[in-house]
Structure formats: C-alpha cells, structure tokens
Amino acid sequence: MDQTKWIDLDTESFQYSLDHFVIPDHYEDALSSVLIPHGVIMDRVEKLAKVIVQESTGPLVVCCVLKGGHQFFADLVNYIKKNVTRGGKTVPLSLEFIKVKSYSGETSGEVKLSLTEEECKDFAGKNILIVEDIIDTGKTMVQLLTKLKQYSPESVKVASLLIKKTPLSNGYIPDYVGFSIPNAFVVGYALDYNEYFRDLDHICVINDHGKQKYAVKN
Ligand code: HPA
Ligand code: MG
C-alpha cells in the first residue's frame, strides 16, 4: 500500500504533554502522554469518510467491531452523512455491530462472531466495510475476514483508525488507515485497558502506574 495513505506517528520523537490538554482527573496519573489529540482524530476521520464514499461502488454495510470500534464508527458514519448535506457523492448505508472472540490458544485460528447464522447469511452479495479501532498483530482481523468471506459478500474492506508498528505483526494492512502508531499500548477514543479509558477523548499512552492501577483484580 502507498505509504502516504496514512499519517505516520513516531512517539519516540514526539509526544504531547498531558499538561497542554484537558484530561479527566481520574486518569491524569495513569497516562504518560497524549499521542493523538481528539481534534486531530476528528479531522482525520472526516478525510477517511470522504475517501471511503469516493471509492464506494454501491450500498455499504458498515460493520462496527465492538467495543473498541464504536467511537470511530459513530464519527465515521456521521461524517459520511455530512458528505450528503455538503452536496458530495452519497452512498446508502446500513449498520451492523459485531463482537469477535478469538481463541488464541487454538491452532485452527477460528473466531466466533456474536451474530447468528441467519444474520451472517445476510452478508451475501453485500459490500461490507469493517470498522475497527486498531490493528495490532493483525491476527483477529485476518481470522474475521476468513470467516466473513464464507458468507459470499460482494466485497469486504476494512477501515482501522490505527495500525501498530509491532514485530508481532502478521503483515496485514487494512484498506483505510487513520494513523500508524509506535509499539506502545494506547487508550482513549474507545480503546481500553481492562475496560477503562474508553471515556477519554484523546488517544494517549498508558504508563506503568496506570497498568497497575487498572490491572485485572482477582
Ligand atoms: N490499546 C488498546 N487495545 C488494543 C491495543 C492497544 O494498544 N492493541 C490491541 N488492542
Ligand atoms: Mg479492537
């Protein structure tokens, strides 16, 4: 893929100080920096929406991967709708929501979807746009695509807000990417750490204290 198709962030060389943004008090001590301010996210999502509509060839089934994809999905759909009021190209949308469970321990590489068999059969002949928050190793997405293709959709494309530069990557690259990020654990804009930080607007890097504070307690 053309490397200019996304914004390449290198946190090693640049991160915004928390002091320069409004951060909820309850998360202030758990974060090390702001990686992507909310306003920049929104501007980038607006552009992705425009490109997606321009490249669409017919009605789209926009498929939100829960829970992390929900904020990107909501803003992306809103910007696609705005394209209509601005007199741009329009495309009919239908919306779908899925939870994906992958069984990392299994060699079969199967994923289980929250949709019923009947709901999956509705994908036949449709143009699907999967909306995901982040591609990390790429494993879940490759498994999800394999599964969806069994239902004979006309096309399947993937929009991911983030792609992580990690040595564990299987090389999968989505059709639409907002930002390429360094190999750090990020939270906010619906990305979580043990279900916390979804209520944070900016995408931030969690610190060691935050990982301890919000660790799973048994
Ligand atoms: N943050 C949140 N969720 C994730 C990440 C991350 O960095 N990588 C994979 N899932
Ligand atoms: Mg996700």
Q: Of 47-56, 77-86, 90-99, 150-159, where does mean pLDDT reach its minimum?
A: 77-86
Q: Residues enclosing ligand 1, CB less than 6 A?
A: 68, 134, 136, 185-187, 191
User: Is the predicted pLDDT of residue 84 greater than 80, yes or no?
Assistant: no
Confidence of residue 178 (pLDDT cuts 50, 70, 90): very high
What is the mean pLDDT of the segment spanning 48-55? 94
- Find all residues with CB under 8 Å of 76, minimum gap 6, and list them: 45, 48, 49, 52, 62, 131, 159
- Ligand found nearest the CA of 174: 2
- Residue owning the nearest CA to atom 7 of ligand 1: 185
User: Is the predicted pLDDT of residue 58 greater than 70, yes or no?
Assistant: yes
For residue 168, the CA-to-ligand 1 centroid distance in Å is: 13
For residue 142, the CA-to-ligand 1 centroid distance in Å is: 16
Quote the pLDDT of residue 177.
97
What does each C-alpha distance from 177 to 46, 145, 164, 165, 198 come to in angstroms? Answer: 12, 17, 11, 13, 20
Percent of all residues in the chain with a pLDDT value above 70, rounded to a whole number: 93
Quote the pLDDT of residue 21.
97
Q: What is the pTM of this model?
A: 0.93
Q: Please report how many Cα atoms fall inside a 13 Å half-sphere around the Cα of residue 201, on the Cβ side.
A: 11
Total length of the chain = 218
User: Is the predicted pLDDT of residue 14 greater than 80, yes or no?
Assistant: no
Confidence of residue 204 (pLDDT cuts 50, 70, 90): very high
Confidence of residue 104 (pLDDT cuts 50, 70, 90): low
What is the mean pLDDT of the segment spanning 89-104? 87
To test ligand 1's pocket by mutation, which of 133, 180, 191 has the most ligand atoms within 8 angstroms of CB? 191
Residues serving a catalytic function are: 136
Quote the pLDDT of residue 13.
67
What is the pLDDT of the chain when averaged over all its residues? 91
